[in-house]
Structure 1
Amino acid sequence: MPYTPSGFFCDRLIRERERRDGEGSLNKPLRFNSQDFGVLRQECLGGKTLFEDESFPATVESLGFKELGHKSNKVKNIVWKRPKEICENPQFIVGGASRTDICQGDLGDCWLLAAIACLTLNEKLLYRVVPQEQSFSEGYGGIFHFQFWRYGDWVDVVIDDRIPTFNNQLVFTKSAERNEFWSALLEKAYAKLHGSYEALKGGNTTEAMEDFTGGVTEFYEMKEAPKELYKIMKKALERGSLMGCSIDSLVPARFETRTVTGLVKGHAYSVTAVEECKPSQHKEAKVRLVRLRNPWGQVEWNGPWSDNSKEWATLSKSEKEKLQHQSAEDGEFWMSFEDFKKNYTKIEICNLTPDALEDDKIHKWTVSVNEGRWVRGCSAGGCRNYPDTFWTNPQYRLRLLEEDDDPEDNEVGCTFVVALMQKNRRKERKMGANLFTIGFAIYEVPKEMHGNKQHMQKDFFLFSSSKARCKSYINLREVTQRFRLTPGEYVIVPSTYEPHQEGEFILRVFSEKRNTSEEIENRIEADHPVPAPASAGEESEEDQQFRTIFQEIAGEDMEITANELKNVLNRVITKRESEIDKDLNTEGFSLESCRSMIALMDVSFMDGTGRLNLQEFRHLWNKIKQWQGIFKHYNADQSGSINSYEMRNAVNDAVMCLVSRSGFRLNNQLYDIITMRYANENMNIDFDSFISCLVRLEAMFRAFQAFDQDGDGTIRLSVLEWLQLTMYA
């Protein structure tokens, strides 16, 4: 069986392999819950049965876990029905999908429905999420499917068409047309993706917009909007981005209430165009305009540049045609950019990834995607307020390679957007999970360190200030921000605000020009160890002491077993501790640790004797003394243990000083494993565990090198060899 030293997290390897095979792309989405729509539909048609989805059954568990759970009165009278049981002549889509197909039911998921309404404005995007050629007539088998972007991959979600009803009316999302069901089924598929309908309660419209497009959202408060906001909006629309805006209402009772200007507070609008025109009386300057759309399809702005305002009379016929001006109560209207900034409080731009649209005429963002995780006790270091652990967070090297084509104010630089998204928190709500407060900081890498992919150490962050950072740490699914920095090399450090919070995330970098970003992941490697030469000088007093003890225990053959090694070490180290090192608080080495030590020193590995002679013991003792000194260095508080976050440095120091011209380096996944294996519940590692970890590490590396005859970093083992190696070490 092939084996490489980096192959520890099988799920990550599987994901990487799937990406190499094209899995997770638009053209080859992942099958959610391993369900193949085509195969399942064919089985239903062949057997003349209607599909029943066992992975999202028509039960209370699919409704929810608290307000829609078993103890809730709300679910008692809910009946799951298929559309053909609800009405005559059900249709998937009637007369094209539009905003009127989306009416909210008894579920607080208006954020999702607003995003669906926005999606209907872009037919190409809509029919990627809602595959066409689905119906209740030809090829009907009670099965439908929808596609969503989910943490870097596109997934195909299969559902049956049983929908919750009460008195034969849909409980949740419905269409204005009683016999139209695409929006209700889309909502069900999205609920399945997150575990239940109740999991959809409460959210942000941009969350769903991203799940429909694979895009990334930027938020701008109008009072703090950048001076180049107009240009940002124009570029976003040229790239096919989705854009919305709203007017905040501080009084909940006034949500969705019309103002004297015709605008509605607490309501989402779509931005559909950004243009410039030149009225005849404005000889010196052009007027910037914004076109918006009210999803209601009515109720419009009645100020300057509204449908019937006098400003339109100042434009030529060609200018009006360019702007597609119409006087109709259709919910769409123009207003000046200045009025737009005065009246609206927030704008959201969902920038599309390069794969979102295939039209070559649409400019696209370059994007790089990185997956990561914060592991308690190892790589969950918290924010910069925690300098002792901040440096242990995952780190990502960003290389900005090309400047923008049209820099503002003649300032050179690379424009890019960083998006940090935490994963699976909505799905894990039923287990009590909430969103973490997350953020990130960006540091410039010194030129002498360019190309060096080593993890940046604690001192770098103690003596370097961030070059840029997110505006604030916040408990949203995703934190995003736009930056402009000069070309060069940077390191991005994503983190939770508090340390010790464990979770998964993806970090995406969108740029107008080419960039690369990758996790700073130390390569797992080891130089071939060269044993330190034995000293030819006189024996020290300590050497004489343990020689005497060794002879006393070993007997005539001058070799010791694991049990005898345990006695020797514990007698020597107890004596040494009592005289010199009073802060180890060790209870002595276990028999299992001593067996690992013999395996380490056994040069023949699996064909060895299982014993140590005096020379081997002396070499082992020298190692332990050096490890003991390193442990003491990191045990600064004399507690008898070291913090698991410092284990990374302690391991690095230990393995580099054992042998001449050699050492080995680990990556972040291995540090995670070490923490899980050797740290206690308080994320501390005592002396015995520290020694056991180092012994096992070196033994496994030496064994690997013995099999890696050609030095290519890959070995092939039979099952017997694999079991012998792992059982002996």
Structure 2
Amino acid sequence: MRIELFRDQKYAKLRKHHQELGVPWTDSSFPAGNASIGLKKSKELHGVEWRRISELCNNPRLVKDGVGRHDVVQGKLGNCWFVAAASVLAGIEKLWEKVIPDVQDQEWDPENPGKYSGVFRFRFWRFGRWIEILVDDLIPTRNGSPVFTYSKEPGEFWSALLEKAYAKLNGSYEALDGGNISDALVDFTGGVAELIQLRSDSGALTYRDEDKKIELYNRILKEIGEHALICCAIRCEGGQQEEKTDCGLVKGHAYGVTAVKKVPVGSIGLTNLFKGREKLSLVRLRNPWGEKEWNGAFSDSGGEGDSEADREPDINQQQLYSISHLITLCSRSMEWRMISDKEKQKLGLVTEDDGEFWMPWDDFIEQFTDVSINHVINTSLFSFYKTWKQYTKEGNWTRPDRCGGCLNYPESFLANPQYRFDVTTKDNTTEEVIIQLSQNDDNRLATRERIVIGMHVWKVECNRKFRIHKIDLQNVKSSDFIKSRHVFYRTSLKPGRYCIIPSSFKPGEDGQFLIRLFGDEISGFTEMLEDEPKTPNCACIFKGFQTVTRVSVRCIQGLPEKKGIGKTDPYVTIKCEGETVKSSVVENSLNPEFNFSAIFYRKDPDKDILVQVWDHNMLLDSFLGQVTISRAVLADFTGTSKSKSSTATAEPDNPFGDTEGDSIGYSGGGIVKLDLRSKDKNKLDKLPGTIQLLLENDTNLSAF
């Protein structure tokens, strides 16, 4: 694990020095004063005094009676996003130990107080590396208590010191006043953050369909089982921050998702109402404030504080008989209240009045607007869970020629950095791929606003090595473009070569970025820097490249039935000037369709290109036919980017060409349908089947 020392402060060296001095360390790089709190925040607070933790209690501990999600309570700072993330982090000890390493070594030693150094260390993930940050034990207090984050357990201070280290990383406590849950989760784990909208920007429910609700629930259940950290929030408009809903939830406030559970209906006395439904799906959440809980179905109060009028359903409501409303009715019924504490304990539904509560999944979907999932990607080779390969590339959007904006700006889009990778699955099976694009908004480097970022991914020629100059819009996959530190994209891809183009939304916005690519059967992740092959230094001796040809196989029709036992599993090879490429196998098809293309930079255009069709067999593949593409055939499809055909539909400044017809972005190309022939020398023997190709040829090597 690569670790960078923040401000080059060395833990072992400082600790040893202050142990020998017998004086606790005072961190001059993050002084105990208004600058570290933040000028605006320090004016809001009065009577703040920085005190050492040893002055606040007789027996301070970093951790007291183990680490738990209840250890973190929000103070006088609007950083519920940080506190919620720290709370769910504390629920997974192995992840927590990465952020707070060697806890026993850092712990106070009451038997040897003279060895106390006052140096504590924490680690956060930022832009591809772990950063170790040291802090002293001076924290802001008022009336002898911490002003900001504190632990519910008296005398425990890991959460307060964690917050101080995070404030130091970000410049001040005030910098944590309002933030993004996903950012904190990524900083704590080095994971990959995904944002799921339960409601659209217009407020419409995204998961109204029952099957979609179940699918999302099962996914959350699986993610928690794989140690994902999950938080949620209710989006708010201006002036609604921390406004309480009728159900007791707080708008603009982050909650930690600490568990999901399916409860047998019969065990809670609801069998009669839920016939045909064996289990109810519940989710457990925690409010970082440690109070103000959900007061609806399955809440701690069970609705006992509501008046009879509040409990009486409105018969005019359209959703009166929905699952959500039935659960609400039942949870507030005498049957639910009569369930003993022992039975609730057995079901795992008991919580204290500490801000943690259960609620039905249907209500969760309706009440919350956003869910943030931090995927802790497993890259270990020794694991019972799915393992992933990880590839990482740092890059820059630079002016004037490498920050072209998104696809909305076709004139400049292809000027962005370009990266390629291969999906190497067999039998034409799909591969799940996760991509995270991050922008570097580190406050230590520059005080600048984040920009809107995203990425486009599409399949390219199987042998492409040079930058793309024209693309097929029909094959493009796009992430969301958002103003965030991280953008998450998950997709499934078939075998082949793919290109990623990360970009800002608008052209001309520069900055640093990081791409993280995860998959199982992927390889060859690299940046494409050159536009075309280089011309030989001695052109008089070594022949240079004359033309570029792109051959795309669309489909084959009318292949013969296989004689004997078995099925026909065709694939295609293309041979050009000593280079051979091969498509994936299409299983059991006499009329296979392909999305397969290859690009060739050619020194001798007079040589033929050979396209062959084969049948994949267990021992020896069998030949099904071939076609020859000669210079004469290509003559009808040769153009130059400087001289567009008069029949072209593309505008001169449009690098994408016609996206509605057969053309895939080049006006000089065309479709040919050729009969398959035998391999004999005269090449006249016709074999069953025809192949459809898209041929493109250009004397400009940067045409495609």
Pick the TM interval, shorter chain. 0.5 to 0.7
Change (3 A) 1:487 1:527: closer
Displacement of 1:252: 3.9
The equivalent position to 1:456 in structure 2, one of 450, 453, 468, is 468
Map 1:342-381 → 2, pairs under 5 A: 342-354=366-378, 360-363=383-386, 365-381=388-404
User: Which residue of structure 2 lines up, in the alignment, with residue 197 of structure 1?
Assistant: 173
- In the other structure, the counterpart of 1:496 is 504
Question: Greater share of helix residues, 1 or 2?
Answer: 1
Question: Quick one: percent identity of the two aligned structures?
Answer: 36
CA displacement at 1:396 relative to structure 2: 2.0
Structural mapping, 1:197-276, within 5 Å: 197-222=173-198, 223-225=205-207, 227=212, 228-250=215-237, 252-253=239-240, 255=242, 257=244, 259-260=246-247, 263-276=249-262
1:521: which partner in 2? 528
- Measure the CA separation in 2 of the matches of 1:277 and 1:101: 27
Query: Across the two proteins, how many residue pairs are aligned to each other?
Result: 487
Q: Deviations over 1:263-314 (max 9, x none)?
A: 5544433333445566465675554513212235666556566677479899
**One-letter amino acid matched to 2:127:** Y
Gapped regions of structure 2 (runs ≥ 5): 199-204, 303-330, 542-641, 644-654, 656-704
Asked if structure 1 preserves the Cα contact closer than 8 Å seen for 2:420 and 2:525, the reply is yes
Change (3 A) 1:174 1:382: same
* Cα distance per residue 1:113-150 (max 9 Å; x no partner): 22112222222222221231123334420111011111
1:669-708 → structure 2 map (5 Å cutoff)? none
Quick one: distance in 1 between partners of 2:357 and 2:413? 49
Aligned to 2:538: 530
Pair 1:164-2:136 in alignment: no
User: Match for residue 294 of structure 1?
Assistant: 286
Moved more, 112-121 or 159-168: 159-168
CA distance in 2, matches of 1:341, 1:403: 39
Give a deviation string over 1:701-727, Cα, whole Å, max 9, x none: xxxxxxxxxxxxxxxxxxxxxxxxxxx
Conserved 8 A contact 2:229-2:375? yes
Aligned twin of 2:162: 186
**Deviations along 1:598-624, whole A, 9 cap, x unmatched?**
xxxxxxxxxxxxxxxxxxxxxxxxxxx
The aligned residue for residue 443 of structure 1 is 458
Q: 1:382 aligns with which of 381, 384, 405?
A: 405
User: What pairs up with 1:579-598 in 2 under 5 angstroms?
Assistant: none
Secondary structure at the aligned position of 1:158 is classed as strand
Question: In 2 relative to 1, CA 519–339 (structure 1 residues): closer, same or farther, beyond 3 Å?
Answer: same
2:108 partner SS: coil
By how many angstroms is 1:436 displaced? 0.7
Other-structure match for 2:108: 136
What residue in structure 2 maps to residue 340 of structure 1? 364
Instruction: Provide the C-alpha distance between the structure 2 equivalents of 1:166 and 1:469, rounded to a whole number of angstroms.
Output: 50
Q: Give the one of 410, 414, 419 matched to 2:431.
A: 414
Q: Is the contact made by 1:199 and 1:426 (CA closer than 8 Å) also made in structure 2?
A: no
1:44 pairs, out of 12, 15, 18, with 18
Does the Cα contact within 8 Å between 1:67 and 1:198 map onto a contact in 2? yes
In 2, Cα distance between equivalents of 1:112 and 1:366: 29
User: Structure 1 256/287 Cα, relative in aligned 2: closer, same or farther at 3 Å?
Assistant: farther
Letter aligned with residue 232 of structure 2: C
Partner of 1:691: none
How far the C-alpha of 1:182 sits from its partner, in A, is 1.7
Q: Is the 8 A contact 2:84 2:256 kept in 1?
A: no
Q: Distance in 2 between matches of 1:63 and 1:298?
A: 25
Q: Deviations over 1:227-262 (max 9, x none)?
A: 3323322331222111122333447457252534x5
Q: CA deviation at 1:494?
A: 0.9
Instruction: Identify if the C-alpha distance between structure 1 residues 231 and 168 changes in structure 2 by more than 3 Å, giving closer, same or farther.
Output: closer
Provide the rounded CA distance (Å) in 1 between the counterparts of 2:344 and 2:429. 37
C-alpha separation in 1, matches of 2:477 and 2:83:
35
CA contact (8 A) 1:258 1:265 kept: yes
Q: Is the 8 A contact 2:403 2:507 kept in 1?
A: yes
1:482 is displaced (CA, Å) by 2.8
Instruction: Tell me if the contact between 1:354 and 1:367 (Cα under 8 Å) persists in the aligned partners.
Output: no
Match in the other structure for 2:575: none
Does the 8 Å CA contact 1:244/1:270 hold for their aligned counterparts? yes
Tell me if the contact between 1:239 and 1:363 (Cα under 8 Å) persists in the aligned partners: no
What SS does the aligned partner of 1:148 have? strand
Distance change >3 Å, CA 412–CA 285, structure 1 → 2: farther
> Which runs of 5 or more residues in structure 1 are unaligned?
1-22, 405-410, 534-632, 635-645, 647-729
Matches of 2:354 and 2:150, distance apart in 1:
22
Asked if the contact 2:125–2:187 (Cα under 8 Å) also holds between the matched residues in 1, the reply is: yes
Matched residue type, 1:433: R
Question: Which SS does the other structure have where 2:483 is aligned?
Answer: coil
Q: How far apart, CA to CA, are the structure 2 residues paired with 1:277 and 1:94?
A: 32
State the Cα distance separating 1:373 from its structure 2 match.
1.3
User: Which is richer in strand?
Assistant: 2
- TM superposition shift of 1:208: 0.6
Aligned residue number for residue 617 of structure 1: none
One-letter identity of the residue aligned with 2:453: I
Alignment CA distance shift 1:367-1:285 (3 Å): farther
Report what 1:468 is aligned to. 477
Aligned residue for 1:89?
59
> What secondary structure, in the 3-state scheme, does the structure 2 residue paired with 1:453 have?
coil
Q: Distance in 1 between matches of 2:477 and 2:234?
A: 29
So what's the TM-score if we normalise by structure 2?
A: 0.60
1:651 corresponds to: none
Task: Find the partner of 1:150 among 119, 126, 129.
Answer: 126
Work out whether residues 394 and 519 of structure 1, in 8 Å CA contact, stay in contact via their aligned partners in 2: no
CA RMSD of aligned residues (A): 4.0
Greater CA deviation, 387-396 or 81-90?
Answer: 81-90
- What SS does the aligned partner of 2:468 have? coil
